[in-house]
Amino acid sequence: MKTSCSILLLFIASAAFAQTKNPVSTALKETLTGRQKNVIAAVDAMPADKFGYKPTADQMTFGHLVTHIVESNNLFCSKVAGVPEPKAEAAKDSDAKDKLAGSLKASFDFCSDALSKMDDSKLGETTEIFGGQQMTHARIALILASSWADHYAEAAMYLRLNGVLPPSAKK
């Protein structure tokens, strides 16, 4: 009986997947929802006086991490969806927490809008990124998804080093 149930669940799951017209862009949009929530919550959780904190002399400050996330979101979401980057004032490491948090939220809003225009039909097309290097939209989608995970992990580490429980660790 257990095997029959497993086969049935696998059939249902594969049937649902087969019905998704744009599985990659759909998955990326779904991933955005959770990553956006956790990254924004992590930045909100960090005390304002800790945005200059860096674990070692060779690492970036928390404020720089936020500006890096903003820049990454704007670049990768623009490139993967084939839309222009937003025309916004660049966030600076030294900006106040509220300004950095606002820039971060705006970058995720831009990603949400850009990804709503994306579909899988252009994943094989190439675009210029990183100083003239050509990459497919598919590769950029993978970079984008992995950067969200990496950035949240880094923010969570900074929080823990400052005695703050990361959002995903809260019950």
Cα 34 from Cα 109, distance rounded (Å): 13
Cα–Cα dist 131/46, whole Å: 33
pLDDT, tens digit, for every residue of 39-53?
999 999 999 999 999
The residue extents of the domains of the chain are 23-169
Percentage of residues in the chain having pLDDT higher than 90: 82
SS3 state at 129: strand
Determine the CATH number of domain 23-169: 1.20.120.450
pLDDT in tens, 120-141: 999 999 999 988 999 999 999 9
pLDDT band of 5, cuts 50, 70, 90: low
Task: State the pLDDT at residue 20.
Answer: 78
Whether this model's pTM surpasses 0.85:
yes
What's the pLDDT tens digit per position in 79-116? Answer: 999 999 999 888 899 999 999 999 999 999 999 999 99
Task: Give the CA distances from residue 35 to residues 5, 29, 39, 132, in Å, rounded to whole numbers and listed in that order.
Answer: 32, 10, 6, 29
Q: Does the pLDDT of residue 7 top 70, yes or no?
A: no
The three-state DSSP-derived secondary structure of 18-59 is: HCCCCHHHHHHHHHHHHHHHHHHHHHHHCCHHHCCCCCCCCC
What is the per-residue pLDDT for 12?
57
